[in-house]
Amino acid sequence: MCGRYQLVLPLEEVLALFEADSESEPFPPRYNIAPTQPIHVVRAVSGGARALSLMRWGFLPGWVKEPQKFPLLINARAETAAEKPAFRNALRRRRALIPSTGFYEWRREGKAKQPFFFVPSGPIAFAGVWETWCGPNGEEMETAAILTTGAEGVPAQYHDRMPLTVPPENYAAWLDPANENGEMALSFTHRDTFEARPVSRMLSNARNEGAALMVPDAPEKPAAAEEEDAPRLL
């Protein structure tokens, strides 16, 4: 799955990489992007242009009546998205690119869960879908989810799922709403390659932010028995 990621590029660089115009204000580096937060999404707009917009990370199909009672959909399984009522229309007509500079997974080590950062070779674009939810009082909310697939390579050592990415040469085809065959559109995605490295356990709290989260925690204090074996001054 993909339940936490980062985007630490400045706005100007994101716009250049995706050849997009901005519907977003400049933003600081984000090291700990979590579900329900606003995320930056690149989508196709009229005339074949691309726009960088903010959307809620947590997909809401248009037919949902009570969002507070609907499950939080942050990921969509690529294998079944074309068939699921929640995602099939968005996969056909509302695909997106979600800029990222890496994502995180957790692995239990002893009594604690250790977060690991999965480092790509450069900036990447998660394959995403989006939807505009309209409420009974006329309110609107744009929402998005990240497509995932079975893990391969390094990520498979930590989790059974990983995010799908779209290579730059396929950005246009992935975003093109004329490609209405959702299963065919998935052929424009791929599994990227990553390295893994441990980061601070402070990342587990979604309220924590900043570059310090990328620094692994100091080793735990030695056990008392080990301390007793040290030489003593009498």
Q: How far apart, in whole angstroms, are the C-alpha atoms of residue 167 and residue 127?
A: 10
Instruction: Tell the burial category of 95 from Cβ atoms under 10 Å away from its Cβ (0-12, 13-18, 19+).
Output: buried
Structure tokens at 154: 């390094």
Catalytic residue among 25, 105, 140, 209: 105
Q: Could you tell me if 117 and 199 are in contact, meaning their C-beta atoms sit under 8 angstroms apart?
A: yes
DSSP-derived pairing of the beta strands 38-44 and 5-7: unpaired
Q: For residue 2, indicate whether it is catalytic.
A: yes
Q: For residue 228, indicate whether it is catalytic.
A: no
- CB count in 10 Å sphere of residue 234: 3
Q: How far apart, in whole angstroms, are the C-alpha atoms of residue 63 and residue 85?
A: 10
- Residue 39: beta bridge partners? 55
Q: Is 196 helix (H, G, I), strand (E, B) or coil?
A: strand
**Which amino acids are annotated catalytic?**
2, 105
